[in-house]
Amino acid sequence: MVGIGEKAPEFCLPNQDSVEICLRDLKGKWVVLYFYPKDLTPGCTTEACEFTKALPEFEGLDATILGVSPDSPQKHRKFIEKKDLKITLLSDEEREVLKAYGAWGPKKLYGKEYEGVIRSTFIIDPEGKIAAVWPKVRVKGHVESVKERLKELQSEAD
């Protein structure tokens, strides 16, 4: 997994409208990049809805929120429409960005090992460096802790 102070791995991925979003185009802004397993599943829905609810506060902190999963742009569009989400969801069907950030790897469920998305979140600073990492996210209270950490980072940067 990429660590604090490292350059954030570059990416260009299609969003829910099949429009390519590239990290380089967000230079100068704070980016909250979160990886999640699957659209329309309970934990992922809760996380996406909480980020949507907090979006005005993140925008007030000059931060962009990007959710990434292996789901297709079409599935993201359905997820957004069904749950009235206001955040941008990116499709990483090849899992290249997931792997670059260390958000793809071995997981265990009911004693079985398999490869999957490791729910994780990164704050990328305006220079494109990793400023904060949550390697194994528990959804409850997560959005609030990301917001608080972003505020701390911004006050340290001033």
- Which residues are paired to 123 by β-bridges? 32, 132
Q: What are the start-end ranges of the H helices in the chain? A: 42-60, 73-83, 96-100, 142-157
49 belongs to the catalytic site: no
> Token pair 């999963």 is at which residue?
69
Catalytic residue among 12, 22, 44, 49: 44
Torsion, CA 60, CA 136, CA 68, CA 77, rounded to 10 = -90
Q: Classify 26 as helix, strand or coil.
A: helix
Total Cβ atoms within 10 A of residue 111: 5
Q: Please tell me what DSSP assigns to residue 138.
A: -
Tell me which residues are annotated as active site: 44
